[in-house]
C-alpha cells in the first residue's frame, strides 16, 4: 500500500540545515497497522507530510495505493488526498459546528452526496468510533478530549480512506482515555481494512499492543519490529527465555545482555512454543 | 475521481464522486458573511457609494446628451420683437423675415400665447397665482423661424439680429457649447471619482475576504486535508464577495431610482422653461443600470476575492502541514 524508497527531505532554515528525513525506506502492506515512534524532531511528522504530499521529497520515491506521488499533477493532488484520512494531535474540529456537521463537513466539501447518504454514513462512522447516537447533536465544547478525538477520527474515516495517518492522536488526551484511542485505532484498522500509521510518544502504551513498531531517529529508520505478544505482558523475569524468543532481533539481544541466561536449548524451544500459543491465546485479543 | 479507486469496502456512491457540492459551499459563504458582518457592511457601503456615483454620473450624462441632441438638432431661431414695437411694426417684421433667403417657415407667437404656454408648464395653483399677480404680460411678441440650410445658420441668425424692431434672438449654439463643456467636465470628474472609488472598493473587498479567510483558517485547512480542490475552497469566499457586491448593487439601484424620480419631480418644470427637452424616463435606464451594477458588483467581488485568495495561498504556502 505504502512504498517509501530512499526518501530524503532537508529543510534549510536560515543558515541551519535540518535533515528531517534521511534515505528512509519503508513498506507498509494494505490493512497493516504501524506504530511510528521516535523522539521529538526525529522526522515523524515530516514523514506524514511526505505521504500526504504536503511536502515533496528531495530524493527517493513514494508510492501510495499504486500512485507514484512524484507523478501526480498539482491539480490532481486533492483527488489523491481523498484516499488519506488525517487525525491531528489538536483535533482541529470546527468549533462553530456540532459533532454531526463536523464529520459531515469532510463529505460535503468534496462531493455532492444526498443528505440521506450523509446521515447514514456519518451515523456509521460515529458508531465506528464508539460515540453514542445522542452525541451527534452535541456541540464540540461539550465533549471531553477523548470524545473530540473520536469525532476527529470519525471525520477522517467518513470518506472511507485507504490510509489513515494519525499524528500523536493521544497527545492532548487524558492518560486514562489514551488506551481507548489506541484500541479504537487498532479496531478501525482491523475492522475496516484501513492501513493505519499512528505516531505516538506513549511508549508504555505501545508496549501493551502487538504489531509493528517503526522507530525513527534523526530522520533515519532506527527500528522496525513486529511484536506478536505485547511487550509489556512478557514478564521477562519470569519467562526469560520466552521473552528472548518472542522479541524481535535486537530486543532479544538486549534481553540476553540483561543477564537471563544463554541461548535456549532445543527442548526448551518446544516448551516455549507451547507457551507462545498460550500467551497468544490469552493476550492475542488486541492483535 | 480521477485516480483509480478500489471498489472494495466502499459504501459511498461512486457516481457522485467529483461532483461539486455547490449548494453547501454557497451556504458556507453566506454563513461566513454573517460571521464577518463588519466586513460585509464596509465592503457593501464603499461599493454602494461607488455605484451610486457611477449611476448618477451616467444618468446625468445621458440627460445632458439628450438635451444636447434636442438643442443641436434645433433648426429654429426665436426672434423676439422689441417690447415697444407696434402691431404694425411687428407685422412688418414678420414679412421681412419671410422674405429672407434661408428661411423655410415663420410662425408668429403672440405675447398672450407665449404667456399661456409658460403658465401651462407651471403647476396649477402656482400658475393661477402668477397669472393673477402679473401687472402686465412681461413677454414680447415673437417669431419662430425655421432655418432651411443649417450650414448658413449662423449668418441667418446674424441677419435676423440686425433687423429693425428686433429686441434679441435666441438660438442655442452657445448653450450647446456650454452644455457640451459641462458634460465633458462632469464626465471626466465623475469617471475619476468612480475609478478611485472602484479601486477603493476592490481594496475593501480584498480586505474583507482576507479577514473572512483568517476567520475560516481551520476550515480551509480541513478542506485541503480532506481533498477539496483549490477552486472549491475559493467558492465560499467568492460567494461572500459577490453577496456583498449584490447588496451594494441593489441598494444603489433603489437609491438612484428614488433620487431620479425626485429630480424629475422638482427639476422638470424649471428645465422645461428653457428647453423643449425633457428628463429621460427612468425606465430606459433600468436594464443598463442593473447590468452595470451586476457587472461592477460581481467584478469587484470576484476580483477582490481572487486577489485576496491568491495572496493568502501564496503567503501561507500551498502547504498545510500536519504539525500545527
Ligand atoms: N517546514 C519546516 N521547515 C523547517 N524545518 C522543519 C519543517 N518541518 C520540520 N522541520 C524540522 O525537521 C525536523 C523534523 O521535524 P518533525 O518531522 O516535525 O519531527 P517530529 O514530528 O518527529 O517531532 C525538526 O528538526 C524540524 O525542526
Ligand atoms: Mg511531530
DSSP characters for A182-243? HHHHHHHHHHH--EEEEE-S-HHHHTTS-EEEEEEETTEEEEEEEESS-GGG--TTTSHHHH
Q: Are A92 and B320 an interchain contact pair (Cβ–Cβ within 8 Å)?
A: no
Q: Mutate one of B216, B226, B232, B234 to test the A interface: name it (highest A CB count within 10 A).
A: B226
Cβ–Cβ < 8 Å for A241, A272: yes
- Going B319 to B322 to B323 to B324, the CA torsion angle's sign is positive
What's A253's DSSP letter?
A: H
CA distances from A46 to A61, A63, A166, B232 (A): 15, 16, 13, 27
User: Ligand 1 in contact with A148 (CB < 6 A)?
Assistant: no
Nearest to B92 by CA among B104, B74, B108, B105: B108
Taking residues B75-87, report their average pLDDT. 85
User: Ligand 1 in contact with A162 (CB < 6 A)?
Assistant: no
CA distances from B61 to A22, B194, B260 (A): 71, 14, 13
Which of B3, B8, B23 is facing A79, going by the closest CB pair?
B3
Atom of ligand 1 nearest to the CA of A13: 4
CA distances from A238 to A17, A196, B16, B111, B191 (A): 48, 33, 58, 132, 92
Calculate how close chain B gets to A5, using CA atoms only, in Å: 21
Q: Which ligand does the CA of A54 lie closest to? A: 1
Taking residues B108-117, report their average pLDDT. 84
Q: Would you state the pLDDT for residue B176?
A: 67
DSSP characters for B188-231? HHHHHHHHHHHHHHHHHHHHHHHHHHHHTHHHHHHHHHHT--HH
Query: CA–CA separation, A187 vs B138, rounded Å?
Result: 104
Cβ–Cβ < 8 Å for A109, B226: yes
DSSP characters for A14-25? TTEEEEEEEEEE
**Backbone dihedral angles phi then psi of residue A250, each to the nearest 5 degrees:** -70, -30
How confident is the model over B22-65, as pLDDT tens digits?
Answer: 888 888 888 888 888 888 888 888 889 888 888 888 888 788 77
Top mean-pLDDT range of A21-35, A130-144, B81-95, B96-110 = A21-35
- Closest CA in chain B for residue A125: B11
Q: Are B228 and A110 an interchain contact pair (Cβ–Cβ within 8 Å)?
A: yes
* Positions of E strands within A108-182: 163-167
DSSP characters for B131-149? HHH-SS--PPPEEEEEES-
Q: Which helix (H) or strand (E) holds A62?
A: strand A59-64
Query: CA–CA separation, A244 vs B292, rounded Å?
Result: 82
How confident is the model over B223-249, as pLDDT tens digits?
Answer: 989 988 888 888 898 898 888 888 888
A183 and B CB contact within 8 Å: no
User: Ligand 1 in contact with A28 (CB < 6 A)?
Assistant: no
Cβ atoms within 10 Å of B149's Cβ, excluding its own: 12
For A28, the 3-state DSSP assignment is strand
Query: CA–CA separation, A270 vs A284, rounded Å?
Result: 20
Q: Would you state the pLDDT for residue A9?
A: 96
Cβ–Cβ < 8 Å for A8, A60: yes
Query: CA–CA separation, B295 vs B276, rounded Å?
Result: 35
Its pTM stands at 0.71
Q: Give residue B114's pLDDT band: very low, low, confident or very high (50, 70, 90).
A: confident
Kindly report the average pLDDT of chain B as a whole number: 79
Q: Are B13 and A162 an interchain contact pair (Cβ–Cβ within 8 Å)?
A: no
Please tell me the residue having the least CA distance from ligand 1 atom 1.
Answer: A11
User: Ligand 1 in contact with A18 (CB < 6 A)?
Assistant: yes
Chain A residues with CB inside 8 Å of B321's CB? 45, 49, 54-55
Q: Would you state the pLDDT for residue A5?
A: 96
A11 and B CB contact within 8 Å: no
β-partners of residue A255 are: none
Please report how many Cα atoms fall inside a 13 Å half-sphere around the Cα of residue B77, on the Cβ side.
Answer: 26
Beta-carbon contacts below 8 Å between A and B: 114
Nearest to A28 by CA among A52, A64, A57, A61: A64
Query: With 70 as the cut, is the pLDDT of residue B2 above it?
Result: no
Tens-of-pLDDT digits for all 287 residues of chain A? 999 999 999 999 888 999 999 999 999 999 999 999 999 999 999 999 999 998 999 999 999 999 999 999 888 888 999 999 999 999 999 998 999 999 999 999 887 788 899 999 999 999 999 998 889 999 999 999 999 999 999 999 999 999 999 999 999 899 888 999 999 999 999 999 999 999 998 888 888 888 899 999 999 999 998 887 776 666 555 555 655 666 666 565 555 444 444 444 555 556 666 666 666 655 543 43
Chain A residues with CB inside 8 Å of B18's CB? 79, 111
Nearest to B297 by CA among B205, B208, B207, B211: B205
User: Ligand 1 in contact with A44 (CB < 6 A)?
Assistant: yes
Q: Are A78 and B228 an interchain contact pair (Cβ–Cβ within 8 Å)?
A: yes
Query: CA–CA separation, A199 vs A27, rounded Å?
Result: 16
Calculate how close chain A gets to B300, using CA atoms only, in Å: 25
Please tell me the residue having the least CA distance from ligand 1 atom 11.
Answer: A20
Please report how many Cα atoms fall inside a 13 Å half-sphere around the Cα of residue B232, on the Cβ side.
Answer: 29
How confident is the model over B163-214, as pLDDT tens digits?
Answer: 888 888 877 666 667 777 777 787 787 778 778 877 888 888 888 888 888 8
Centroid of chain to Cα A201 = 12
Residues making up chain B, counted from first to last: 324
Calculate how close chain A gets to B203, using CA atoms only, in Å: 28
Nearest to A7 by CA among A67, A48, A66: A48
Q: Give residue B125's pLDDT band: very low, low, confident or very high (50, 70, 90).
A: low
Query: CA–CA separation, A27 vs B308, rounded Å?
Result: 41
Nearest to B8 by CA among A68, A156, A160: A160
CB-neighbour burial class of residue B99 (10 A; exposed 0-12, middle 13-18, buried 19+): exposed
Cβ atoms within 10 Å of B137's Cβ, excluding its own: 14
Amino acid at each position: 500500500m505504502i512504498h517509501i524508497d530512499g526518501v530524503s527531505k532537508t529543510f534549510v532554515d536560515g543558515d541551519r540545515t535540518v535533515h528531517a528525513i534521511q534515505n528512509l525506506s519503508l513498506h507498509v502492506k494494505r490493512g497493516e497497522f504501524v506504530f511510528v515512534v521516535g523522539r521529538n524532531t526525529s522526522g515523524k511528522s515530516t514523514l506524514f507530510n511526505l505521504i500526504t504530499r504536503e511536502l515533496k521529497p528531495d530524493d527517493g520515491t513514494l508510492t501510495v495505493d499504486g500512485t507514484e506521488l512524484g507523478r501526480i499533477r498539482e491539480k490532481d493532488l486533492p483527488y489523491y488526498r481523498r484516499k488519506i484520512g488525517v487525525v491531528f494531535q489538536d483535533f482541529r474540529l470546527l468549533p462553530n459546528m456540532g459533532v454531526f456537521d463536523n464529520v459531515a463537513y469532510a463529505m460535503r466539501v468534496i462531493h455532492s452526496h444526498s443528505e440521506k447518504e450523509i446521515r447514514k454514513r456519518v451515523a456509521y462512522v460515529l458508531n465506528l468510533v464508539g460515540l453514542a447516537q445522542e452525541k451527534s447533536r452535541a456541540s464540540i465544547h461539550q465533549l471531553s478530549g477523548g470524545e473530540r478525538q473520536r469525532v476527529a477520527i470519525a471525520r477522517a474515516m467518513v470518506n472511507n480512506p485507504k490510509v489513515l495517518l494519525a499524528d500523536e492522536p493521544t497527545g492532548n488526551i487524558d492518560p486514562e482515555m489514551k488506551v481507548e484511542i489506541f484500541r479504537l485505532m487498532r479496531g478501525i484498522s482491523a475492522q475496516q481494512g484501513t492501513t493505519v500509521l499512528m505516531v505516538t510518544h506513549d511508549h508504555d502504551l505501545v508496549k501493551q499492543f502487538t504489531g509493528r513498531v517503526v522507530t525513527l531517529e534523526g530522520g533515519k529508520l532506527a527500528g522496525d519490529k513486529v511484536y506478536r505478544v505485547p511487550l509489556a505482558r512478557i514478564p521477562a523475569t519470569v519467562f526469560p527465555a520466552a521473552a528472548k524468543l518472542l522479541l524481535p532481533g535486537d530486543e532479544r539481544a538486549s534481553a540476553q545482555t540483561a543477564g537471563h541466561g544463554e541461548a535456549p536449548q532445543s527442548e526448551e524451544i518446544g516448551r516455549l512454543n507451547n507457551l507462545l500459543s498460550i500467551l497468544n491465546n490469552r493476550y492475542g485479543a488486541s492483535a | 475521481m480521477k485516480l483509480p479507486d478500489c471498489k472494495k469496502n466502499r459504501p459511498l456512491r461512486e457516481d457522485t464522486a467529483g461532483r461539486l457540492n455547490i449548494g453547501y459551499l454557497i451556504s458556507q459563504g453566506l454563513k461566513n458573511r454573517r460571521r464577518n458582518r463588519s466586513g460585509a457592511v464596509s465592503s457593501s457601503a464603499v461599493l454602494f457609494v461607488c455605484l451610486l456615483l457611477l449611476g448618477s454620473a451616467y444618468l446625468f450624462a445621458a440627460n445632458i446628451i439628450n438635451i444636447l441632441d434636442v438643442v443641436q438638432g434645433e433648426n429654429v431661431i426665436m426672434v423676439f420683437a422689441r417690447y415697444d414695437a407696434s402691431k404694425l411694426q411687428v407685422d412688418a417684421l414678420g414679412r421681412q423675415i419671410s422674405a429672407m433667403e434661408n428661411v423655410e417657415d415663420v410662425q408668429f407667437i403672440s405675447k398672450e400665447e407665449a404667456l399661456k404656454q409658460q403658465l401651462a408648464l407651471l403647476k396649477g395653483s402656482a400658475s393661477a397665482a402668477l397669472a393673477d399677480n402679473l401687472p402686465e404680460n412681461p413677454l414680447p411678441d415673437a417669431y419662430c423661424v425655421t432655418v432651411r440650410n443649417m450650414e448658413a445658420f449662423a449668418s441667418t441668425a446674424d441677419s435676423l439680429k440686425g433687423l429693425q424692431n428686433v429686441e434679441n434672438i435666441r438660438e442655442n449654439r452657445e448653450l450647446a457649447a456650454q452644455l457640451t463643456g459641462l458634460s465633458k467636465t462632469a464626465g471626466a470628474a465623475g469617471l475619476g471619482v468612480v475609478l478611485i472609488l472602484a479601486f477603493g472598493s476592490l481594496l475593501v473587498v480584498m480586505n474583507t475576504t482576507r479577514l473572512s479567510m483568517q476567520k475560516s483558517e481551520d476550515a480551509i485547512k480541513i478542506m485541503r486535508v480532506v481533498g477539496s480542490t483549490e477552486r472549491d475552497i475559493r467558492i465560499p469566499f467568492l460567494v461572500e464577495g459577490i453577496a456583498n457586491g449584490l447588496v451594494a448593487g441593489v441598494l444603489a439601484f433603489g437609491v438612484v431610482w428614488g433620487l431620479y424620480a425626485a429630480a424629475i419631480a422638482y427639476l422638470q418644470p424649471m428645465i422645461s422653461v428653457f428647453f423643449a427637452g425633457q428628463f429621460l424616463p427612468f425606465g430606459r435606464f433600468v436594464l443598463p443600470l442593473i447590468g452595470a451594477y451586476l457587472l461592477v458588483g460581481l467584478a469587484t467581488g470576484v476580483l477582490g476575492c481572487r486577489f485576496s485568495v491568491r495572496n493568502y495561498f501564496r503567503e501561507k504556502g500551498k502547504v498545510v502541514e500536519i504539525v500545527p
